[in-house]
Chain A
Amino acid sequence: MEPTKTAAVDSRALGESVVNRVFVTVGVYLIAGVLLLLGIGLQLTGAINNFATAQNMLNIIDAVSMLGIVAVGMAFVTYSGHYADLSVPTTMAMTGYVAVEMLKYGFFAAVAAALLVGMVVGLINAVAIGKFRANPIIWTLAVNYMSMGVIRLVWVNKQIYPDMTASTVRASQMFDAIFRLRFFGRIALPMVMMIILVIVFQFVLRKTKFGVQLKMTGAARTPARFSGINVELMIGIAFVICALTAAVGGLTVTSLNRVGAWYNGEGYDFRAVTAVVIGGVTLAGGRGSIVGVLGGVLVIGILNNILTLLGVGTFSQDMIRGAIFIVVVFINARSLRKMGRDYE
């Protein structure tokens, strides 16, 4: 935050090196590409095998599709300049519980109820953060505690099973299918959901009134307000979207685990933020894209894949992941600054 140089700077001056330009435009996909090449290279040297196969690529996407679903929603919060929604994990768990409970009224009741839970949590955050400007990190943390408390109080440390609560076998089968349904025998439903969400939200972010106004809101809240934008609403919607995707993610995780448990969704908060930020959505807000977030998610997937194929232990993987995370963000921020597209 050193005094910023407002003196007119003309484009010749700015460090528009090829690298920067490429990075700012294709952003994270550059990294994804590099990783893919790395993988192929390793395969050629025989260090790993079967990397460049359709099967493996699908595995990678499968592995991250749930993370993707959540991250896409989280992106809106970050984009609105509010860092992260830490209430996501418990929201996921709670939707799981409620959905499984509601299976006794059939599958669709369950899904509806789950989304309703997401909606409610989202609205709570929306009011507190959007209207009263509570600090997003702390507030969502508090909400996370409270809803966890609620879960524990209501379901007293029991976990509940779809096939036991469901009224009909069909209902529980359908619930089971949320994660397992496959198109053309291989394309899993979560993958499809992720892709659809990415497409829809990319459109929302870029082409709709909401998207454009959210950008202004995220980049500069007060000026946005003084431009006739209903910033409270914009931020509110962002949090609701986040909570809703968390609900969808919660449904999927619960369907995968075949059990409503409070540990479903654990760790998804920071994992999602990581993906979002790697994907080029800056914490300063108003910058980045949903497609970029998809890229971020893929980068994480490819990285894990390569490391496991190399036989790197789970724990060493964390170290590498942490380091790469910092580096990527650094490069991204730096090239933005050099391009004069941003300042500290």
Chain B
Amino acid sequence: MNNDSKKGRGREKTLTFIDRNRIFLLFGVVFLVMALFAPRFMTSFNLTTIMRTTAMNATAAIGFTLILIVGQLDLSIGTIITFAGVVGLGLKQYIGYGGSVPIAILAGCAIGLINGLLVAKAKISSFIVTLGMLTLLQGAIYTITRGNSISLSSPDAFAVSDWLARMIIPLITPRVVITLVLVGGFTVFLRLTRVGRNFYMVGGNRQTAWLSGMDTDLYTIVAFVISGFTAAVGGVLFAMEGAAATLNLGNTSLMYVISAVIIGGTAMSGGKGGVLKSFFAILMLDVLYNGIILFGLGNEVKIFIAGIILAAVVLYEAYTRYKHDKTVGQRAELLKEVDELKERIKTAKHRAAV
């Protein structure tokens, strides 16, 4: 190992740094474009709108990021969002928000717990478990509501929803605050606490984690519980602000969150990623959509661009790995002489030709 290889690694490192933080750049670019060209984008009202739109999916994305970090998948977050919304508002008229909201959130955790137990203890693939849970919950929601979406038109309900939607300062409403607190909290937790780091270890290599004395099953289960928790929080708050819970509240969230989290740079393979990145990814998409609407363009554009971005990111990641695999293990000192070697080969060919 000599300096050259070290230098090479230095360069590599800078690149990987940019790569690791690409989502912030991406966000910056999108934001800049919209700020410059989209009509009425840069009004504090509109920016607040964006933040408020972001809130639900951003909250759900926290848990989902964690799930990917431990190397699992949770397809049920969309329905958990809806479920929590329905429970939270459905029970309000009986026990008030004071009781119904905690119950809704606990329900979310409970669902997460079940997912987690089935994955960790019964050893069923999380893809299967959560896919089944998705179907099951969807049915449950329709059954308990008998097809009625739930709305509250009582003054106090409106009071709450107004409070949640109130603009404290530009960009910030109470619901946004809650989201930001959760995002910040989990970012710190995952980045700077031992337990947080352990989640990465579990996802990075389950066996290592286990051998270094971590209860990997526990970590997996906790991840699912947290995923259920954040999804539920996102759902119930959204419903409260709207003073209504529809039965397909979270339907679009799943694909939206998956795309965002991946674009944010969290890997399906586990052990990589971060909550803050996911948050900015969601923000980036919302800014994009917001701008698209401001431009007066339709969904087709929105869907198409979302697809392009996602595809680009996935391809980029795949391709860098592809390249990496091809070059890993090259000897620096040999690489140095490659050009000169090529030269010699060319001349040799030339001579052969003559």
The interface of chain A, by Cβ under 8 A from chain B, is 1-3, 83, 128, 131-135, 137-139, 141-153, 156-157, 270, 273-274, 277, 283, 313-323, 325-326, 329-330, 333, 337, 344
Known: A146-B311, A149-B307, A153-B304. A326 touches B262 (CB 8 A): no
Report B-chain residues with C-beta under 8 Å of the C-beta of A283. Answer: 125, 127-128
Segment among B12-20, B44-52, B137-145, B171-179 that sits at the interface with chain A: B137-145
Report A-chain residues with C-beta under 8 Å of the C-beta of B147. Answer: 315
The interface of chain B, by Cβ under 8 A from chain A, is 73, 118, 122-125, 127-129, 131-143, 147, 206-207, 210-211, 216, 255, 258-259, 262, 268-269, 298-301, 303-308, 310-311, 314-315, 317-319, 321-322
- Evaluate contact between A132 and B132: CB separation under 8 angstroms: no
21 pairs, CB–CB < 8 Å, chain A vs chain B: A3-B210, A3-B211, A134-B318, A142-B308, A142-B310, A142-B311, A148-B307, A149-B300, A149-B307, A152-B303, A157-B300, A314-B142, A315-B138, A318-B138, A319-B135, A319-B140, A322-B133, A322-B135, A325-B131, A333-B123, A344-B123
- Evaluate contact between A146 and B307: CB separation under 8 angstroms: yes
- Evaluate contact between B304 and A145: CB separation under 8 angstroms: yes
Please, how many angstroms separate the alpha-carbon atoms of A1 and B126 in the complex? 14
Please, how many angstroms separate the alpha-carbon atoms of A100 and B15 in the complex? 49
- Evaluate contact between B143 and A319: CB separation under 8 angstroms: yes
Besides A149-B301, A149-B305, 4 other A-B contacts (C-beta < 8 A)? A133-B322, A138-B262, A270-B131, A318-B135
- Evaluate contact between A152 and B206: CB separation under 8 angstroms: no
Report B-chain residues with C-beta under 8 Å of the C-beta of A320. Answer: 139
B59–chain A nearest beta-carbon distance, Å: 21
Known: A128-B318, A153-B300. A139 touches B135 (CB 8 A): no
Name the one of B118, B310, B315 contacting A326, with C-beta atoms under 8 angstroms. B118
- Evaluate contact between A323 and B268: CB separation under 8 angstroms: no
- 4 smallest A-B Cβ distances: which pairs? A149-B304, A318-B139, A145-B307, A322-B136
- Evaluate contact between A139 and B311: CB separation under 8 angstroms: yes
Please, how many angstroms separate the alpha-carbon atoms of A82 and B258 in the complex? 17
B122–chain A nearest beta-carbon distance, Å: 6
Question: In the complex, what residue of chain A is closest to B312 when comparing beta carbons?
Answer: A142
- Evaluate contact between A133 and B304: CB separation under 8 angstroms: no
Please, how many angstroms separate the alpha-carbon atoms of A156 and B300 in the complex? 8
Report A-chain residues with C-beta under 8 Å of the C-beta of B124. Answer: 326, 329-330, 333
B205–chain A nearest beta-carbon distance, Å: 9
B82–chain A nearest beta-carbon distance, Å: 13
Known: A2-B207, A152-B300, A325-B128. A143 touches B143 (CB 8 A): no
Name the one of B216, B304, B322 contacting A146, with C-beta atoms under 8 angstroms. B304
Known: A315-B143, A316-B143. A150 touches B128 (CB 8 A): no
Interface centre among A131, A141, A326, A330, by most B CB within 10 Å? A326
Please, how many angstroms separate the alpha-carbon atoms of A274 and B125 in the complex? 13
- Evaluate contact between A145 and B310: CB separation under 8 angstroms: yes
Please, how many angstroms separate the alpha-carbon atoms of A83 and B73 in the complex? 12
Report B-chain residues with C-beta under 8 Å of the C-beta of A132. Answer: 315, 318-319, 322
Report B-chain residues with C-beta under 8 Å of the C-beta of A152. Answer: 298-300, 303-304
Please, how many angstroms separate the alpha-carbon atoms of A275 and B147 in the complex? 27
Name the one of A1, A83, A150 contacting B207, with C-beta atoms under 8 angstroms. A1
Question: In the complex, what residue of chain B is closest to A323 when comparing beta carbons?
Answer: B136
Please, how many angstroms separate the alpha-carbon atoms of A320 and B122 in the complex? 19
B27–chain A nearest beta-carbon distance, Å: 19
- Evaluate contact between A138 and B268: CB separation under 8 angstroms: yes
Report B-chain residues with C-beta under 8 Å of the C-beta of A153. Answer: 300-301, 304
Known: A132-B315, A135-B318, A322-B139. A144 touches B132 (CB 8 A): no
B75–chain A nearest beta-carbon distance, Å: 8
Please, how many angstroms separate the alpha-carbon atoms of A254 and B222 in the complex? 45
Name the one of A143, A157, A333 contacting B311, with C-beta atoms under 8 angstroms. A143
Known: A83-B127, A134-B314, A138-B258. A146 touches B308 (CB 8 A): yes
- Evaluate contact between A319 and B139: CB separation under 8 angstroms: yes
Question: In the complex, what residue of chain A is closest to B247 when comparing beta carbons?
Answer: A315
Please, how many angstroms separate the alpha-carbon atoms of A229 and B48 in the complex? 55
B217–chain A nearest beta-carbon distance, Å: 9
Question: In the complex, what residue of chain A is closest to B206 when comparing beta carbons?
Answer: A1
Report A-chain residues with C-beta under 8 Å of the C-beta of B135. Answer: 274, 318-319, 321-322, 325
Report B-chain residues with C-beta under 8 Å of the C-beta of A323. Answer: 132, 136
- Evaluate contact between A145 and B306: CB separation under 8 angstroms: yes
Please, how many angstroms separate the alpha-carbon atoms of A337 and B321 in the complex? 33
Name the one of B131, B306, B308, B318 contacting A274, with C-beta atoms under 8 angstroms. B131
Please, how many angstroms separate the alpha-carbon atoms of A83 and B207 in the complex? 23
Report B-chain residues with C-beta under 8 Å of the C-beta of A315. Answer: 138-143, 147
